[in-house]
Amino acid sequence: MAIRSIRTMGDEVLTKECKPVKEMTEHTAELIEDMFETMYEANGVGLAAPQVGIRKQIVVIDVDDGNQYVLINPEIVETEGSQTGSEGCLSVPGKTGVVTRPEKVKVKALNEKMEEFELEGEGLLARAICHECDHLKGQLYVSLVEGKLEDVMMEEVEE
């Protein structure tokens, strides 16, 4: 496993649509492991493949609920309610912004064994699923911010 460089706003790869994963290869399995390691090293709760420079539809999420989620070729199929709150992104370091997202989402995806499954999430998990799926479409959360981006104090980031 290796920690990969996280691409930041302004990098062209973050504005491109990602390609579906057709099969699980050794390279793709290694990418998923690296994505988790990179996300944990950066104190994130989610990471999408384009954030490490790979234009594949792969997302990893860990919102500290005891589960690690791998979503390959994810598609949000249902949303319910809304939540408005502060959001940040590893690709937009040192900034946060207020974004409204669904309170609950249902996503259809493939797991690491390329088996289809559905995941329902609410609260932070729903927010993370939406945020990371946006990355796969070449969209950063900054385009959804209500108001303006705010600077984050380093003490806040470390908590």
- Residue-wise pLDDT for 121-135, tens only, equals 999 999 999 999 999
Residue range of the domain that includes 141: 10-146
Quick check: 55 pLDDT over 60? Answer: yes
Q: Burial, 54: exposed, middle or buried (Cβ in 10 Å; 0-12, 13-18, 19+)?
A: buried
- Residue-wise pLDDT for 56-97, tens only, equals 999 999 999 999 999 999 999 999 999 999 999 999 999 999
27 is in an annotated binding site: no
135 is in an annotated binding site: yes
Q: What is the pLDDT of residue 152?
A: 85
- Whether 87 is covered by a domain: the verdict is yes
Q: What is the pLDDT of residue 1?
A: 76
H and E: helices and strands count for the chain? 3, 8
**Global pTM?**
0.94
89 is in an annotated binding site: yes
Is-contact 91 131, C-beta < 8 A?
Answer: no
User: For residue 45, what is the domain's CATH number?
Assistant: 3.90.45.10
Q: Which residues are catalytic?
A: 132
- Number of domains the chain is built from: 1
- Whether 159 is covered by a domain: the verdict is no
